[in-house]
Amino acid sequence: MTGKRTSLIIPVESQVRELDPKLLLACVAAERGFTVFLGSKTEVGLRIASFPRSVYLGKSMTARSIKMFGTLKNLGHDIIVWDEEALVHHSKEQYYGRRLDPRTLEKVSALLAWGQENYELFKEYPAYSNTPIYITGNPRGDMMRPEVLPFYEPEAESIHKRFGEFILINTNFSMVNGFLPSLNLRNPGAKPDAPAQAGAAARGLTPEFAEGWANHKQAIFEHFKRLIPSLSKAFPDHTIVIRPHPVENHDVWYQLAEPYNNVKVIYQGNVLAWLKAAKAVIHNGCTTGIEAFIVKLPAIAYRPVTAKIYDLDLPNSLSYECFDFKELCQTLERILSRKLGPPDTIERRQLIDYYISALDGPLACDRIIDVIEQHEAGLSGLSWPGLRSYLRGWIKANIRSYKKRYIKSKLSGHRNNPDYLSQRFPGVSVDEVRSRINRFFRILDRFKDVKANQLSKNIFQIHNPSPR
């Protein structure tokens, strides 16, 4: 296509997880002539009325997005969405309750699927109403590909120099160890055995499922807390690095690590840099197990308690599954002595191909921009929503921004708590964004002319003055 391009808005919620892959997507879009507004999801939302009419690339379709998507439509933006959390989920019924809402879906023009499994998941949603679904893969998958993974070499080298031979533990306990009490499945301030009522409705879960899941996660959490001192003593010559989940209470892990010289708690950088530097990773039902499999790092799923209804099969099945501490130590010793490599089998490779597309061939980012170009051509440009609709959207956006900035941010335990937002998106400078674009250029021989300008706090314009 030629001529003036549509703008894209790409919000980033979790900086360490999403920024690099979404920056790669922004570079691909800019290479083709799009102007991209990339930045903190919170800051983008606060300033949404100031952007030109664009295609908004959303990352979820929960009930919490209804008001925002309505405002976007009023302002004349188009909405294309993938579900960042669709790769690892419980049953279809639980996934639909947690992650999809028909009122949100009806405002979406197209869905982007991680792979065939995600396509089928969308297609079989009871409220699905023929929204186009495209199997594109995901930008996070691109970052794991052999030709892109060297992007993390500088960080991996720095990590290796700092920690030497180390064992990585990735935690995944935000449902019972949330940064904010309101994030937990159980009532804020409740005892560990209290009913999991408060978090159930907010997450689209039945009380029964929430209760069982909370009990299960709490049991695994307690085992992982006991694991730290035991592992420290069993492997005194290795550093053990705990990398907490982005929305967990990290203080718990700092307190556990403090008595042990060889245990460190680090929350910084994309997990792929840590996987490149580590000798092995330990997890339970964490996406890290999938990432480790793809980048060929031995992963151990530590499963001291099990429950089929609550366990997450995909990351566990791509790892060496250990059901007690003795088995974990034996497996870890074989990995560290290089007697055991990654769990690479034909069955596991077929499984990952079913779940994640675009691990070879054109990048997922290129496929996503193909879809947007095709979609834009079909629209022949975004139609004007009408003055009344636009004014309604502008007023709603500014009222929402005022409430979040001056009222909700001051409420204890609210998701707009500045400390919570800062943990999710610590911030990045325009020089760092430019440096990372240049790194993409060096490893891919693309994006030489892509530029980055800072628009406001943690929001950047990515563009190419001379698109191909």
Give the total number of structural domains in the chain: 2
In this prediction, residue 1 carries a pLDDT of 36
Check whether residue 157 and residue 253 sit in a common domain: yes
Check whether residue 436 and residue 451 sit in a common domain: yes
Is residue 348 domain-resident? yes
Mark which of 332, 355, 378 sits at the end of a domain: 355
Q: What are the tokens at 210?
A: 């929430």
Check whether residue 220 and residue 368 sit in a common domain: no
Strand partners, 55: 8, 78
What is the CATH classification number for the domain harbouring 453?
Answer: 3.40.50
Check whether residue 179 and residue 44 sit in a common domain: no
Please state, in angstroms and rounded to a whole number, the distance separating the CA atoms of residues 341 and 107. 46
Mark which of 309, 324, 355 sits at the end of a domain: 355
Mark which of 320, 355, 390 sits at the end of a domain: 355
Check whether residue 259 and residue 283 sit in a common domain: yes
pLDDT digit string, tens, across residues 26-83:
999 999 999 999 999 999 999 999 999 999 999 999 999 999 999 999 999 999 999 9
Is residue 45 domain-resident? yes
Check whether residue 302 and residue 435 sit in a common domain: no
What is the CATH classification number for the domain harbouring 308?
Answer: 3.40.50.2000
Check whether residue 133 and residue 167 sit in a common domain: no
Is residue 346 domain-resident? yes
Strand pairing category for 78-82 and 54-58: parallel
Closest CA to 426 of 457, 463, 447: 457
In this prediction, residue 3 carries a pLDDT of 40
The residue type found at 395 is: I
Is residue 1 domain-resident? no
Flag residues of the chain having pLDDT under 70. Answer: 1-5, 187-203, 378-383, 413, 468
Is residue 226 domain-resident? yes
Check whether residue 135 and residue 213 sit in a common domain: no
In this prediction, residue 182 carries a pLDDT of 77
155: which residues sit within 8 A by CB, 6+ positions away?
269, 270, 273, 276, 277
Is residue 468 domain-resident? no
Give pTM, 2 decimals.
0.93
Question: Are the beta carbons of 274 and 241 closer than 8 angstroms?
Answer: yes
Check whether residue 323 and residue 393 sit in a common domain: no
In this prediction, residue 378 carries a pLDDT of 65
Check whether residue 107 and residue 137 sit in a common domain: yes
Is residue 240 domain-resident? yes
Is residue 2 domain-resident? no
Query: Could you tell me the residue range of the domain that residue 303 belongs to?
Result: 149-355
Check whether residue 105 and residue 179 sit in a common domain: no
Check whether residue 427 and residue 296 sit in a common domain: no
